[in-house]
A and B are shown apart, each in its own frame.
Chain A
Amino acid sequence: MSNQYVDTLGWTGDDENAHYSEQILPIYQDNPLIEALPPIKTHSQVLTALSQFPDVNPEHRQLPWELRMHLIRDIDRFFQPLPRHGHLYSDIAVMICKGYMARNPLKMGFWKQLDADTDALMAQQPYTRRSEYRKSAMAMAIIGISGIGKSRALEEILALYPQVIHHTEYKAKPFPWDQLVWFKLECPHDASTRSLGLAFFAQIDARLGTNYWHGYARNGRASEAELMQNMARVASIHSLGVLVIDEIQALSKAKSGGAEKMLNFFVQLVNTLGVPIILIGTYKAQELFSQAFRQARRATSQGAVIWQRMQLDDNWKLFSEALWDYQYTQRPVELTPVLGRTLYDLSQGITDIAIKVFILAQVLAVRSGREALTTELLTEAAHVGLPLVQPFLDALRKNDTDALTRMEDIQPINIDDSIAQMLDIYDKNQDDTDQAAPIPAITEDQGLLSLGGVEGSSPEDIYVLLQEQSYLKSVAEEVGLQVPIHTRESGE
């Protein structure tokens, strides 16, 4: 099947054949959907499972820079779980299990109830029909500024579950069933509810190998109401554990006939069919939720979780110390309080930016031959590599809420683009200053010796030259020339 909606296929998880495990909690017993899930993890198990610390080998610091560049780029994978990730896991685990509790397909009357519920969904009936669902169904919204790690955290947590569980037999009775534990849908930019629905079917097909695009979306010709009803049906017949909708702020109010209608649908999906939903969005999405989602919050125990950026506290210390191990410069440095504070200031506690600044600084350090992280390098890397987020960070520094709400969200940072951009500027400045020779690559034999200033064109000198001449000026100009952050194309 070829259509435009598959391109946005987000994360996919593992396929697994169902293995049923004895449930300790009686409320979860005799439910194949829950018994097939991996056992519920304790807090410390979660943190261990979530941690992503790529191996560091100190000897690698002496490798040629070309190789080390690869290692530096790999730092992206780094994930330091924080207490809030543990909380999020337990929220989601509860959500999935409780959602499944009321939707056991082996229970008598499953199909009848499904038909009744999808009909009720379309008739826009209030969701007071089944007390069972109301108790168990849940919705959650995660709100926070871009880069705070909302999506990443969710991705890592959901990866603790298989995405698709294939059932064939349960308790010696045939039970053919494809259980979709989680499904993540990214809201396309300026999306209407209809295109969200179409994307849902296209991506379900891509994941499960079904042909619902034809059967339910009528090859893209289905009406919005039809799509909504069929989404609800598919969510039920595949026992969707939790539906994640990312970038919910992109939902167009104008095109959806009022975002409330869409959110109302989600609320009904939750309340009528008992499919848990997690919406992820930036602060801009908060106003979407404020009306419609309040009802959901009232009906459920979960509500909107607001993820603040990190404060300069113990969590930050934990995070930066873990990150600091990943230095691939030839001369690693200790994490001093000053360096820690600089990194915090440059990222304003936004983990994504912090990691990227850290990567960019190392790239710069390696390419310039300085081979050691300093506050100056960090600052330079942040300003040169990530010029577009600076006004945003400025606003954060000043805590200028007016400016923050005025600004549209920053685009996700593509680290490759940032590096390319930084190196572009870097190379350009070298040309400008008539330093014909490229930066000498620090090979092993040159090693640290060359940094001692034996040769005239040592990296230190180049740096000085760059600083003296037009380098920083041109950086400033570049930043100035770039369209400010509050337009969309700025990120690309």
Chain B
Amino acid sequence: MISTIFPTPYPDELLYSVCARYAARMRFSSANIISEQLFGSRNVVAVTDLPSRLDTLSSRLPKQSPLDANTLIDHHTLLPFYAPFIPNERLQRIRSAMRGNKGGTIHTRLGIMAGSIPMVKRLRFCTACVMEDRQRYEECYWHRVHQIAGIDICPDHRCLLQESAASSQRQTIHYAYTAAEDVIPQIFQESPAVPRSHLYAIAKQAAFLLNNGIEADSRSFFEVYRANLESQGFVTIDGSVRMQQLHAAFVDFYTSDLLANVSCSFDGINETWLARIVRSDRKAHHPLRHLLVLHFFGQRLETVLYRDRSMSPAPFGFGPWPCLNKVCPHSHQDVIPTCSIKYSRYAEGKPIGTFACTHCGFTYTRTGPDSAGTTRFEIGKIQAFGPLWEDRLKNVFEHGTLSLRAMSRLLGVDVMTIKRQAQRLLTPMCDFQDEAAQAHIHLESDSTSPNIQDKHRHTWLNMLESYPELGISVLRQRANQTYTWLYRHDKEWLNLHKPCTFIARSRPARVDWKARDELLAKAVDRATIQLLNRHGPPRRITVAAIGRITGRLMLIQQHRDKLPKTAQRLDEAVESREDWALRRLRWTIEHIKEQGLILRGWEIVRRAGLSRFPKQWFEIHGIEF
């Protein structure tokens, strides 16, 4: 069990920081005992942003501790920052990964690994926060809000965050927790506030996300963007987005320097993250980018997310509401007990009430909120007329005594509506399904081909001819019978007679692997030399060691197949066990010589950390001692 003195987390403290403070309090004989005690295994990596095994941790906390896995996730990890921007189902999977032991999948699922916003390399702090914390709690701690990639301003003090010496990424001793108090020096003066107000506003928004545990559907952001694009004139009459203007305005608003700083800049207007984020609601984007777009539109999360709540609780007053069917016996009487309210996607989230009469089936909607009593009798749009009204229309129309205007007055709708509805109700219209059948009939009457195959082929060709712009899936819907027959009996012919496919535009390569390979290969060389020329005891040259020096460990480890040159350099550089032992031996001998010591063979071997006395080496490699 964990000792009862497991620290109580401070506001906005990273779980990592709590663990680090616990480790500092306990000071166990070795660092991995903390991992073992807290997470049940000594191999658990100390993760700063999105840790896992939280169920294990919470089950090991003292009984009276109020911390359960969900509280830890919501208040002491960075997940709430990402939560509103990913589909709910995926969010639940990430949550369960964080509770369980599958920590490896979290970053991948969130898209942080593949994303283009680099992770924070070192834990950061705000000097003013540190001073405040030290005054209030006698110690400082790692704040969540300071560890968000791209946001380097403290939302509380508006000063630039400082990088500490503590790495927030995988370290040599990967289970070590570094307490803030141990690495942040004494601070006597706060950093001055910075005037960059855009990022400050975004930092504020990030803090809002962390502190409010919102699980919105990412769709709703797309709707907000769409509405704002429209209201701010970035949408053409036919509904497409004026990308050129949008991009220009965006860069103008943020400046390209700032965008580059937060890894959110773009070239051109095609397939930029900005284009994708406003165009499609299917792909996940980094929260930082969402925040940038929202801020650009002058929107704040508070209003966007809580717009439902900020509305009046009863935008249409209280029921029952009147039936507005002129021919209904209950016309203009309050007979509709309930109305369902939805919020508009386009009209700034205004409420739309739907009212359905239970007697006549007449259903109308109205955009609210109602301003005065008269609007109670206003129809926004008629959703359904209901059998009563429709029968009446047929009746009057067939009777033929009334003029259209008289009918309009009688039925309470526009003349045009009367016409349309009469057409709909009185003359059976051909639907899409019937089209094929019509063609069919047409062909049969021709009776040029008694053969069924020919008949279908003909139909299909006809369809292709009449609708050259449609793709196969639409054609198939329209002439389902024909398509199915051909598919089953005449597939080869069908394959030859498909509408020409649109050539999918290939995505431009995001990464120039070749250039990257060149750069990395050089970096590997430099790192190797640096390792070899290291002052002091030698260090083995391994992929990990090189990776750490270059700062590209992940890249080297996980994308080796895309980096042939780098891989080759690595293969050359990395030492085998024997090479490494030999180098150690040579260094030891050198070192002993420098010190002017005279040691016996076995003593040298012991100092070099070798297990056996490699006599043959001394001979083979001509080492003298």
Contacts and interface: CB of A to CB of B under 8 A. Distances in A.
B26 A215 contact: yes
Contacts of A437: none
Contact of B8 (A111, A174, A226): A174
A112 B138 contact: yes
Nearest to A227: B29
A211 B1 contact: yes
B149 to A, nearest CB: 31
Interface of A is mostly: mixed
A218 interface: yes
Contacts of A237: 3, 5, 25-26
A215 B29 contact: yes
Nearest to A219: B29
Contacts of A118: 27
Interface string B66-101: 100000000000000000000000000000000000
A216 interface: yes
A108 B139 CA distance: 9
Instruction: From B1, B28, B36, name the one whose CB has the most chain A CB atoms within 10 angstroms.
Output: B28
B5 A109 contact: no
Interface residues of B, number: 22
Nearest to B62: A176
B4 A177 contact: yes
B25 A211 contact: no
A178 interface: yes
B533 interface: no
B506 interface: no
Contacts of A73: none
B183 to A, nearest CB: 15
B263 interface: no
B351 to A, nearest CB: 43
B558 interface: no
Interface string A191-218: 0000000000000000001110011111
B29 A168 contact: no
Where chain B touches its partner, the secondary structure class is: loop
A150 B275 CA distance: 85
Contacts of B30: 218
Contact of A166 (B1, B4, B37, B66): B4
Contacts of B37: 211, 215
Given A112-B138, A215-B28, A222-B29, A176 B6 contact: yes
A233 interface: yes
A163 interface: no
A63 to B, nearest CB: 48
Nearest to A229: B27
A210 B3 contact: yes
A168 B5 contact: no
Contacts of A178: 3-5
Contacts of B66: 174
B138 A108 contact: yes
Contacts of B5: 176-178, 237
Contacts of B33: 214-215
B64 interface: yes
Contact of B25 (A111, A174, A214, A226): A111
Contacts of B138: 108-112
Contacts of A320: none
Contact of A176 (B27, B36, B65, B139): B65
Interface in A235-252: 237
Interface string A163-201: 000111000001011100000000000000000000000
Contacts of A215: 26, 28-29, 33, 37
Contacts of A174: 8, 66
**Residue of A176, A211, A222 with highest tally of chain B CB at under 10 A:** A176
A168 B4 CA distance: 9
Given A166-B4, A168-B64, A111 B29 contact: no
Interface string A103-118: 0000011111001001
Greatest chain A CB density within 10 A among B3, B28, B64 is at B3
Contacts of B25: 111, 237
A230 interface: yes
Contacts of A214: 33, 36
Contacts of B62: 176
Contacts of A210: 1, 3
A47 B541 CA distance: 74
A226 B29 contact: yes
Interface in B3-19: 3-6, 8
B6 A111 contact: no
A56 B30 CA distance: 58
Nearest to B27: A233
B113 to A, nearest CB: 34
B347 to A, nearest CB: 48
Contact of B29 (A110, A112, A209, A216): A216
B1 A176 contact: no
A369 B55 CA distance: 69
Contacts of B64: 166, 168, 176
Nearest to B6: A176
Contacts of A211: 1, 37
B4 A218 contact: no
Contacts of B139: 111-112
Nearest to A176: B4
Interface of A: 108-112, 115, 118, 166-168, 174, 176-178, 209-211, 214-218, 222, 226, 230, 233, 237
27 contacts: A109-B138, A110-B138, A111-B24, A111-B25, A112-B139, A115-B24, A118-B27, A166-B4, A166-B64, A168-B64, A176-B4, A176-B6, A177-B4, A178-B3, A178-B4, A209-B1, A210-B1, A211-B37, A214-B36, A215-B29, A215-B37, A216-B29, A218-B30, A230-B27, A230-B29, A233-B26, A237-B25
- Considering the complex of A and B, which 3 residue pairs feature the smallest CB-CB distances, nearest first? A215-B28, A168-B64, A178-B4
Interface of B: 1, 3-6, 8, 24-30, 33, 36-37, 62, 64-66, 138-139
